[in-house]
C-alpha cells in the first residue's frame, strides 16, 4: 500500500491515493528557479506503509518533516483530540541537557546533538498513546528511521521552501531552537537540505500532508481523520 497524501497544489501519481484540497496548476516557485529544488511526489510503495489488516493498532503517532512545517503546533492539537500525551523531542533534548538546541550545537557540534536526539527518540518511543513531534533531522540516521517505522504511525508534514522560510522568520523561538545547519542560510539552506531529506522522510512516512495555505487546525483534523480510519482498518 502506498503513502496516502493530503495535497493542495500538487499532482500525485495514480499509484498514490490522495485527499485533494484545491485543484490548480502549481506555478514554479522561486526556490525551484534559484536552487533546482523541486518537490517530487511519493511513488510506488515506500518502506513505511500503512499497517495491513490484522496488524497491531498504532499506539504512537509520529510527526516528521522539516523545521517550520508545524509539527509541534499540529502535534499538540492532535494529542489533545485523542486524549494522548504530546511529546516534543526538541523540548525533551533541552530539558535533559539544561541547554538550548543552539547552545548544544555551539558546544558539541551537530554530531553531539544527533547523539542526544537519537537517545531521546529511543526513550519517547517507549511511551504508548503519545503523539511525538520529532526534529527535522531525525531521519538522517538509519537507526532512527528503523525505529520510526517500527514504533509509530508516521505523518510527514511538508511545505514549500518559501513557506518554511517565512514561518521560521516569524517564529520567535527560531534563534534558540534552530541554528544554521549550513553556511548558506536562508532559502538556499532550506532547499539544499530538503533535497537531501525528502527521500528520507518519504521512506518512513505512512501519510503525507502538505501544510501550505492550511491552518494548523485543518491539518490536525485531516491527520485525525486519516488516523482513525487507519485504526478501524486493522
The closest alpha carbon to 83, from 132, 126, 133, 129, belongs to 129
Distance CA 30, CA 35 (A): 8
pLDDT band with cut points at 50, 70 and 90 for residue 231? confident
Domain count, the chain: 1
Task: Select from 132, 154, 131, 134 the least CA-distant residue to 84.
Answer: 131
The answer to whether position 113 is within a domain reads: yes
Model pLDDT for residues 50-105, shown as the tens digit of each residue: 333 334 568 999 999 999 999 999 999 999 999 999 999 999 999 999 999 999 99
Whether 134 is covered by a domain: the verdict is: yes
Q: For residue 131, give every residue at least 6 positions away whose Cβ sits within 8 Å of its Cβ, in sequence order, or none.
A: 60, 61, 62, 63, 75, 76, 78, 79, 82, 84, 85, 86, 87
Tens of pLDDT, residues 130-186: 999 999 999 999 999 999 999 999 999 999 999 999 998 888 776 666 676 777 778
* pLDDT computed for residue 229 by the predictor: 87
Beta strands in the chain (DSSP E): 4-7, 18-20, 60-64, 85-88, 130-133, 153-158, 207-210
Report yes or no on 44 lying in a domain.
Answer: no
- Report yes or no on 38 lying in a domain: no
Task: Dig out the grid coordinates for 122 from the structure.
Answer: 529511543
Does some domain include residue 61?
yes
Check if the beta carbon of residue 47 is closer than 8 Å to that of residue 204. Answer: yes
The neighbouring-strand residues paired with 212 are: none
Instruction: Please tell me the predicted confidence (pLDDT) of residue 170.
Output: 87
Please give the grid coordinates belonging to residue 61. Answer: 503517532
Enter the C-alpha cell of residue 58: 498504532
Report the share of the chain in percent with pLDDT over 90: 63
Collapse the DSSP code of 116 into the 3-class scheme (helix H, G, I; strand E, B; otherwise coil) and give the result. Answer: helix
At residue 171, φ and ψ (nearest 5 deg) are -90, 120
Residue 233's pLDDT band, with cuts at 50, 70 and 90, is: confident
pTM strictly above 0.85: no
1-59 tens-digit pLDDT: 444 444 433 333 333 223 323 222 344 455 554 555 666 554 333 333 333 333 456 89
pLDDT at 199 exceeding the cut of 50: yes
pLDDT at position 98, please? 96
CATH number at residue 201: 3.40.50.300
In this structure, is residue 59 part of a structural domain?
yes
Q: Considering the domain boundaries, does residue 39 fall inside one?
A: no
The residue segments making up the domain with residue 93 are 52-215+226-232
pLDDT band at 232 (very low <50, low <70, confident <90, very high): confident
Q: Which three cell numbers stand for residue 139?
A: 531521519
Domain-located, residue 152: yes
Residue with cell 555551539: 106
pLDDT of residue 153: 95
Amino acid at each position: 500500500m502506498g503513502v496516502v497524501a493530503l495535497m493542495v497544489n500538487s499532482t500525485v501519481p495514480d499509484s498514490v491515493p490522495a485527499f485533494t484540497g484545491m485543484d490548480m496548476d502549481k506555478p514554479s516557485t522561486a526556490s525551484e528557479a534559484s536552487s533546482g529544488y523541486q518537490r517530487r511526489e511519493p511513488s510506488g510503495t515506500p518502506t513505511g506503509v500503512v499497517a495491513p489488516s490484522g496488524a497491531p493498532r498504532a499506539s504512537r503517532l509520529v510527526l516528521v518533516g522539516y523545521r517550520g512545517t508545524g509539527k509541534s503546533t499540529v502535534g499538540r492539537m492532535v494529542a489533545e483530540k485523542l486524549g494522548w500525551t504530546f511529546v516534543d523531542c526538541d523540548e525533551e533534548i533541552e530539558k535533559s541537557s539544561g541547554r538550548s538546541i543552539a547552545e548544544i550545537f555551539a558546544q558539541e557540534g551537530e554530531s553531539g546533538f544527533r547523539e542526544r536526539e537519537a537517545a531521546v527518540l529511543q526513550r519517547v518511543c517507549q511511551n504508548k498513546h503519545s503523539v511525538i513531534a520529532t526534529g527535522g533531522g531525525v531521519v538522517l540516521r538509519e537507526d532512527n528511521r528503523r525505529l520510526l517505522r517500527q514504533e509509530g504511525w508516521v505523518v510527514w508534514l511538508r511545505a514549500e521552501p518559501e513557506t518554511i522560510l517565512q514561518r521560521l522568520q516569524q517564529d520567535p523561538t527560531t534563534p534558540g531552537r534552530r541554528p544554521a545547519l549550513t553556511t548558506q542560510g536562508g532559502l538556499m539552506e532550506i532547499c539544499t537540505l530538503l533535497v537531501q531529506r525528502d527521500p528520507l522522510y518519504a521512506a518512513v512516512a505512512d501519510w503525507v500532508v502538505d501544510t501550505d495555505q492550511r491552518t494548523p487546525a485543518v491539518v490536525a483534523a485531516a491527520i485525525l481523520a486519516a488516523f482513525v480510519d487507519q485504526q478501524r482498518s486493522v
